[in-house]
Amino acid sequence: MALSLVNANLVWQEVKIAFGGESGAGTGTPKLLQEQFLALKAHLAQVKKNPDLQIVRIQGGSIDDASGQILADTPCKLYGVYLKKAATGTDVFTQIIDDATDDSLAAVTSIVAVLPLTQSSEQVALFYPNGLAMSTGVVAKAYNEFDGVTDSSASDTPDGFIIIGAA
């Protein structure tokens, strides 16, 4: 699957929708997280000349699978990650992996980030304002430990999205 880049304004509309519409009211998305994404939007528009982007949804029921969820299978730049954990007390550590097919290289050198979610319904975001080069693609995988040994169950894993652009 090649990147499906679109005008950045369409991606930012999707971000608003993910947060509950224009105001984000009633979604439980902290205003601070919403403002951080607005700051990323402004930075990309002003400093990076408003590049075309793609938003890819992360589905909790997919990142618990044995190989994780493939979010991009081609080189790209990662600009942002947003995750909201399920309403459970089980710890979840979501790895963002530079790989185009699965999490098999996670133990080696491909893990670029681990986002811990240790509270029920916790939310977290990660930003790379200049874009983090992903040389092969992007895979997300959820585990119950930081070291990535035990796969998380679907009922504990977060939903969310990533924002990517051309390599």
Q: What is the pLDDT of residues 59-107, one digit of tens each?
A: 888 998 788 899 999 999 999 999 999 899 999 999 999 999 887 755 5
pLDDT score of 21: 63
Q: What CA–CA distance (Å, rounded) separates 82 from 67?
A: 20
Residues 6+ apart with CB under 8 A from 66: 102, 151
Write down the pLDDT at residue 24.
45
Question: Nearest CA to 125 among 36, 41, 62, 61?
Answer: 36
Query: CA distances (Å), 113 to each of 22, 98, 105, 116, in order?
Result: 30, 10, 14, 10
For the chain, the domains span 54-166
Mind giving me the DSSP string for 60-86? Answer: HHHHTSTT-EEEESS-EEEEEEEEE--
How would you write the pLDDT of the chain (167 residues) with one tens digit per residue?
Answer: 689 999 999 999 999 999 886 554 446 788 999 999 999 999 999 999 999 999 999 988 899 878 889 999 999 999 999 999 989 999 999 999 999 988 775 555 789 999 999 999 999 999 999 999 999 999 999 999 888 888 899 999 999 999 999 99
Question: Is CATH 2.60.120 the classification given to domain 54-166?
Answer: yes
Cα(129)–Cα(18) distance, integer angstroms: 20
The reported pLDDT for the residue numbered 108 is 59
Distances (CA, A) of 18 to 74, 116, 145, 165: 24, 21, 27, 19
In the block, tokens 């950045």 appear at: 8
